[in-house]
């Protein structure tokens, strides 16, 4: 332990002293909702405030105009907080990312105050755009932005059912990739000379039947779901072009890639059966599954209780959704905690969330979670054994999940 006197008091004090500026930033983002990769006002306002707080800010990180990094401290472990700020098309801040933005910034400000007071570590706040589409963290992880980070932390708003993933098997998210299968056939008059046609829509139908047959033989965490994007233009023309898109999801990235190979084989079979030509592509970078760091979650839980946000511990549960946090979690020990911004259960991605994201309770709990995140950062810097334990469990989990059993 390399304890620094007064570090914890400094964290709490600096977040409280700057609460008005921080909440104003969140209200501004809420009032100016910007969708994925268009978050120009939001990212600028975040980066400007961090600069005002004394961080060294870099914009256009990973060649993404709305991504940024903000650093403070000279030596020691690097603790990162990840901020999001994208909104949903037609809805606004229906996922509360205006609160995620300030959770990361306030936590970063808190840890910086401790570092300025003598704690020997470094802190970063990363502005990570486009969580709802594209996945800014995926692009940033691929560009090596998080390579030096010793631990990455963040918070996501939730309902009264929000919980902290302290136990093994909690905090999971599925690996997910988009696959597109296009079939090129031969147009012909569907009644006049169908024997001259090669039916690309039949190939798409075979893909659906093939994947439906595959379902019986996949692990229970796998999810395969698709749509027909192109299925021909007129019933009296044999479709010479048809296309289908699928999400392939699984508990681990390794298993997802294996399933994607099976799907490709099905498509190849469909092309062979119909005499069409297959074009197989993966238009977007895949999301990795989420490796939640329970060592860090247990430390965070202790601080959440202490600051007055005693959310319950999560139960072990298979992942259902997917997040770009997954790709960060394969680069460095990672933790994203959920916390309540309403006192009841509401449907997510809805107008109810838009309202809750601009509520007294929402701001109040976001500042509490930021304090707990900053205090967790102090523990990780002050206590090398704790950080080493977090890293060891992370490394073991990456290795385990890289094998397909």
Residues found near Zn ion in the complex (CB under 5 A): 95
State the minimum distance, in angstroms, from the CB of residue 81 to Zn ion: 16
What does R_g of the chain's alpha carbons equal in angstroms?
A: 24
State the minimum distance, in angstroms, from the CB of residue 72 to Zn ion: 26
State the minimum distance, in angstroms, from the CB of residue 100 to Zn ion: 7
State the minimum distance, in angstroms, from the CB of residue 95 to Zn ion: 3
| Closest to 391 (Cα-Cα) out of 335, 329, 333, 326 | 333
Give 87 or 263: the residue with its C-beta nearer to Zn ion. Answer: 87
Q: What crossing angle do the helices spanning 19-31 and 360-382 adopt, rounded to 10°? A: 120
| Cβ contacts of 222-228, under 8 Å, gap ≥ 24 | 222/248, 222/249, 222/250, 222/251, 222/255, 222/256, 222/259, 223/174, 223/247, 223/248, 223/249, 223/250, 224/248, 224/249, 224/259, 224/263, 228/204
CA dist 73 and 75 (Å) reads 6
Give 125 or 260: the residue with its C-beta nearer to Zn ion. Answer: 125
State the minimum distance, in angstroms, from the CB of residue 131 to Zn ion: 6
Residue 219 · residue 248 · CB < 8 Å: no
State the minimum distance, in angstroms, from the CB of residue 156 to Zn ion: 6
CA dist 49 and 29 (Å) reads 13
CA dist 323 and 341 (Å) reads 20
| Closest to 100 (Cα-Cα) out of 20, 25, 13 | 25
Per-residue tokens: 298: 């247990």
Give 95 or 356: the residue with its C-beta nearer to Zn ion. Answer: 95
Give 95 or 176: the residue with its C-beta nearer to Zn ion. Answer: 95
Give 81 or 394: the residue with its C-beta nearer to Zn ion. Answer: 81
Give 200 or 338: the residue with its C-beta nearer to Zn ion. Answer: 338
């Amino acid at each position: 332990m390399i304890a620094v006197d007064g570090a914890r008091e400094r964290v709490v004090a600096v977040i409280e002293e700057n609460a008005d500026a921080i909440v104003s930033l969140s209200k501004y983002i809420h009032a100016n909702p910007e969708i994925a990769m268009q978050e120009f006002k939001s990212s600028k306002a975040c980066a400007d405030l961090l600069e005002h707080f004394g961080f060294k800010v870099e914009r256009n990180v990973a060649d993404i105009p709305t991504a940024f990094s903000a650093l403070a401290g000279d030596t020691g472990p690097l603790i990162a907080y990840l901020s999001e700020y994208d909104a949903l098309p037609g809805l606004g801040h229906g996922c509360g990312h205006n609160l995620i933005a300030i959770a990361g910034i306030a936590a970063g400000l808190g840890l910086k105050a401790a570092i300025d007071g003598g704690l020997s570590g470094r802190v970063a706040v990363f502005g990570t755009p486009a969580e709802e589409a594209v996945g800014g963290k995926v692009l940033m992880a691929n560009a090596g932005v998080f390579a030096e980070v010793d631990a990455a932390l963040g918070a996501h708003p939730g309902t009264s059912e929000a919980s902290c993933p302290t136990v093994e098997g909690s905090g999971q998210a599925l690996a997910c990739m988009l696959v597109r299968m296009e079939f090129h056939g031969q147009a012909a008059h569907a009644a006049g000379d169908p024997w001259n046609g090669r039916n690309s829509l039949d190939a798409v139908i075979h893909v659906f039947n093939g994947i439906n047959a595959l379902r019986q033989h996949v692990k229970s965490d796998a999810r395969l779901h698709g749509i027909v994007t192109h299925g021909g233009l007129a019933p009296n023309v044999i479709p010479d072009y048809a296309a289908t898109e699928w999400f392939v999801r699984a508990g681990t990235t390794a298993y997802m890639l294996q399933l994607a190979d099976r799907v490709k084989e099905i498509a190849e079979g469909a092309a062979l059966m119909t005499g069409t030509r297959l074009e197989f592509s993966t238009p977007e970078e895949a999301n990795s599954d989420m490796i939640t760091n329970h060592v860090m979650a247990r430390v965070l839980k202790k601080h959440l209780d202490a600051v007055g946000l005693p959310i319950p511990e999560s139960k072990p549960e298979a992942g259902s959704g997917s997040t770009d946090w997954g790709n960060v979690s394969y680069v460095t020990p990672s933790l994203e905690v959920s916390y309540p911004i309403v006192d009841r259960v509401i449907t997510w991605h809805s107008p109810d969330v838009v309202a809750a994201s601009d509520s007294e309770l929402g701001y109040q709990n976001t500042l509490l979670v930021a304090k707990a995140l900053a205090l967790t950062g102090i523990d990780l810097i002050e206590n090398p054994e704790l950080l080493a334990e977090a890293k060891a469990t992370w490394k073991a989990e990456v290795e385990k999940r890289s094998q397909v059993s």
